[in-house]
Chain A
């Protein structure tokens, strides 16, 4: 147990969201301390699929679609700055993304969603194209006969997420942030002029505190007068051996990383708290991947893992400054890669500038309260 020196601002959580916010705060001249949890904590950053993805997002929530589009557009300059501050190239590729449909009903459902999002956005709608099998095969000759069609949108892309994580951590430290692992925060006590943060490791007084602890925010937010309710959402991923390039774009369920490995994913389970991978899920993922790209049948899967996503009650981010305890903030979302540019450049700027709202007010957790008039 030890008491750390007083801090002007502490970020609780060192995953993709916490590290992006801390990088952005340090970029604005602050010297944030990042308190991270244990290596074996249920880290959502471990379950990410590395997409910078816009297509289909924001159904019934055009403010979320706009927020996502904004981040995708900020990504090129963000990745340049990441490289300058860390020396690491995160291999951003925004060459477009596909949603491959393996049945007419899938095609109907997903194209309906994309159309609805586009209709709500009007002129701001991102470009997308509905393609039949032949149209898809013209762009991606490797697809199998089971692909009935696809939705293509040129704004979508991906990064190397291992390098993104490393770049954020190296960059934030180079910019003046500091980082402590094995420092799970279990208690936050609002005090005059700040907050006392406690854990089994010790305690620290912080003038301000940003909660970026993913699903852990559900436990921490009420301690600073906020709420961050979450649902269980487990995702599972298969990763193959490295292959010569065959798919220069990306997709929601399958992508070939810059170094050649193929990531296959997008499962979603709401009814389990076990972190173990399931063979049943793996076989569905593999079967759909092989129907989409038949050449994958001969490729070896090297790794498979599962993780718990950050999922709020409506799946949308929560960005909020505590009205009751000024200086406390919640920052959490599902799409920590796509929104990393927003978190590093917009949310961090708002926190650094002591703005009353961090983003569109509809991202406040007040939306979950029963009566809001």
Chain B
């Protein structure tokens, strides 16, 4: 659905829901997920509907994913990093004591 309008300068590898994908080093996590064809990054906490990155500027909180174990990160505000582990979310965040 989405393709980059510039040829990537260099690429990094990240793990998304157990699958390895490549992304431009300058991409946000949201851009990387959209570029890999992933158009639903989580399910709505209230209604269970699929949700995707929307505003891409940190306002709408639609693109929440778990990044390196931290829940509810805004994918559009976090740059990708080689080796990053990203998971889509289903249901509300958990609240382990001392955890993230």
Contact = CB atoms under 8 A, between A and B. Distances in A.
A243 interface: yes
B97 A242 contact: no
Contacts of B55: none
A259 B46 CA distance: 6
Nearest to B95: A295
A296 B94 CA distance: 10
Interface in A289-328: 294-296, 298-300, 302
Contacts of B72: 241, 300
A246 interface: yes
Contact of B95 (A244, A259, A302): A244
A300 B95 CA distance: 11
Contacts, number: 35
Contacts of A243: 92-95
A260 interface: yes
B61 A244 contact: no
Contacts of A302: 61
A244 B100 CA distance: 13
B96 interface: yes
Contact of A246 (B45, B95, B100): B95
Interface of A is mostly: loop
Contacts of B91: 244
B48 interface: no
A294 B97 contact: yes
B18 interface: no
B92 to A, nearest CB: 4
Interface string A212-245: 0000000000000000000000000000011111
Interface string B59-100: 001000000000010000000000000000001111111011
Interface in A233-269: 241-246, 259-260
Nearest to B70: A298
Contacts of B100: 298
A307 B44 CA distance: 29
Contacts of A245: 92
Given A259-B46, A300-B72, A242 B95 contact: no
Interface in A165-184: none
A298 B46 contact: no
A24 B91 CA distance: 38
A294 to B, nearest CB: 6
Interface residues of B, number: 13
Given A259-B45, A302-B61, A244 B93 contact: yes
Contacts of A260: 45-46, 92
A67 to B, nearest CB: 34
Contacts of B99: 298
Contact of B45 (A242, A299, A300): A242
Nearest to A246: B95
A242 B96 CA distance: 14
Contacts of A241: 61, 72, 93
Nearest to A302: B61
A19 B72 CA distance: 37
Nearest to B64: A241
Given A242-B46, A260-B45, A302-B61, A296 B95 contact: yes
B96 A295 contact: yes
Contacts of B93: 241-244, 299
A246 to B, nearest CB: 6
A141 to B, nearest CB: 11
Nearest to B45: A242
Interface string A193-207: 000000000000000
Nearest to B93: A243
A242 B46 CA distance: 9
Closest 9 CB pairs of A and B: A295-B95, A242-B45, A244-B92, A260-B92, A242-B92, A259-B46, A295-B97, A243-B92, A244-B94
12 contacts: A241-B61, A241-B93, A242-B46, A242-B92, A242-B93, A244-B93, A244-B95, A260-B45, A260-B46, A294-B97, A298-B95, A302-B61
Given A242-B93, A260-B45, A298-B95, 5 more contacts: A244-B91, A245-B92, A260-B92, A296-B95, A298-B99
